[in-house]
Structure 1
């Protein structure tokens, strides 16, 4: 896919109905020859819309108006390029725990959680947050994660987590203000509620830091999984991570994770891990597919705001 097509798709599918600012911006960049030429001089992984927009936000640039964004990006390209080359998309959305919870709560307890692409590890605390599925409230912690649930009986208990670990090429530290600033920059401009949620989730993680290991999702996963305590159900999971991974490495990862004991939860876009005969998504906005051990279970929204169970 060309860089222009990547931005057009991001605007039309991922940002559509979720972030008007990023929808406008992505569609404008897709037709901006000057910006596309700069982006195409970068490695493919560094051209991602989320990454570019977050870097500009981090540096204090405008993302609401495409013309102002164009001018700022051209004027500050050396600084932007330097950040793009050293950073990666590491959105750490604790809200995604709301769509993972129904699966986690149904597995044999207690759980040993291992997140691939963990960023700062905020999704490793599903037992510490509270959840609101319509009128059903579960848990007493902060933040409270709202999720519209369709076709599913929501859990009546939180999972019991006895071990939590994460694997990432560049783990982030919630006690480092610079890392938290990057997590904030990755949140889309209109999403004030997600910024509030980030502050609450980072406080949870800072009080009881997880084991975060710098490593590769294929080469280093088995060794980390082997550290899970005996007597706990190992759960390897990931959310909106594999789209950043080349197809050959995705296939290698699937082979590795299937060979591990325990269970595998994937929450990825439908074209990232291929599934047969999926039902139509409930709306036109972007959805992920939630799957357990390779079996698709539900459509989910990208930030955990909704889950629609299959059949």
Structure 2
């Protein structure tokens, strides 16, 4: 299961008007006019340019539907050396490298592994550890390279507009070189966020992914860097610091479908630790049946093992394919562009997709 990409299905006719080029052109125009502005002017210009280019849209339409998403094409081009600049320059690059771009698109997936999400998960993780009086065993589904499995190894700054709360790892949490080598995860907060006094202790880290990425493989790390949007150099720097930490103590990563591997991997967690299964921007890749199967597995784990389940997902997952609403307590429009964090199915916060904000409910 791919981790991290904010999977955005091609917009349907209810949200984006029909236009020449059909759903794919609408998808790229939506990305360029709604998702990218404010975060990446470069990607906004490039994707609007693609939407206006029938030849490029026709080429993209030769790929399977799930391979047409803007983030994947853009990352493939960046992986191969495309540099920020005018769309005409980018289009020339696409023309000259299309076969290579197609190869990358068809062999890779959008596995953004944003360590910053630990900032929005940390209050819940610390509360779980405190309530159970036990260290944590973490299992992430859609783990990519596993960088979100190290919440105890990062530094944090929470800013509520009046006060900045800082948290750092204990000396026993691991060796990460100088303090300057430990990434700082900055997060703006609102509401009564239960910030911990110290970071929880983590004694086991594991993950499942259809194609786990190896922090020791330069190509895999280069792919992770290509998934960071051009103007967000701070995220690229943070990624490199998180990769260095993961290389010191690589997590246990299992390749396979999350619904096939979850229970067996959960059984390997130490019994004297509190098991927490979590995921971010993953459920959108599953069908309604797949999500239902996963929920049933989580209900089984919470009942039999006392496991805790943290779900951090975008609004597309709230409206299921069968028309049901998973969390009727929170209107979907409140989550547009953000994620909903739930603990054992109960909504607790609305979060920034890269961990940049935390609104406690």
TM-score bracket, shorter-length normalisation? over 0.9
Q: Distance in 2 between matches of 1:159 and 1:12?
A: 40
Cα distance, 1:147–1:299 mapped onto 2, change above 3 Å: same
Q: TM (normalized to structure 2)?
A: 0.81
Structure 1 residue matching 2:74: 3-state secondary structure: helix
Structure 1 residue matching 2:207: 3-state secondary structure: strand
Q: Could you list the per-position Cα deviations for residues 139-158 of structure 1 after superposition, in whole angstroms to 9, with x for gaps in the alignment?
A: 14611100001112322121
Shift of 1:279: 5.0
Q: Please point out which of 280, 290, 297 is paired with 1:239.
A: 280
1:213-228 matches, cutoff 5 A: 213-228=254-269
Q: Is the 8 A contact 2:140 2:149 kept in 1?
A: yes
Shift of 1:255: 2.2
Q: How many residues align?
A: 309
My pick for the range that moved more, 71-80 or 186-195, is 71-80
1:156-195 matches, cutoff 5 A: 156-195=197-236
Q: TM (normalized to structure 1)?
A: 0.93
Aligned partner of 1:252 in structure 2 is: 293
The answer to whether residue 312 in structure 2 is matched with residue 267 in structure 1 is yes
Q: Distance in 1 between matches of 2:273 and 2:26?
A: 44
Q: Please point out which of 131, 147, 150 is paired with 2:190.
A: 150
1:59-208 matches, cutoff 5 A: 59-107=80-128, 108=132, 109-134=134-159, 135-140=164-169, 142-151=182-191, 152-208=193-249
Shift of 1:280: 7.4
The answer to whether residue 345 in structure 2 is matched with residue 304 in structure 1 is no
Aligned partner of 1:290 in structure 2 is: 341
Q: Distance in 2 between matches of 1:288 and 1:168?
A: 20
Q: Is the 8 A contact 2:315 2:332 kept in 1?
A: no
Q: Distance in 2 between matches of 1:239 and 1:58?
A: 23
Cα distance, 1:232–1:54 mapped onto 2, change above 3 Å: same
Q: Which structure's CA Rg is the greater one?
A: 2
Cα distance, 1:211–1:280 mapped onto 2, change above 3 Å: closer
Q: Distance in 2 between matches of 1:67 and 1:295?
A: 48
CA RMSD of aligned residues (A): 1.8
The answer to whether residue 38 in structure 2 is matched with residue 17 in structure 1 is yes
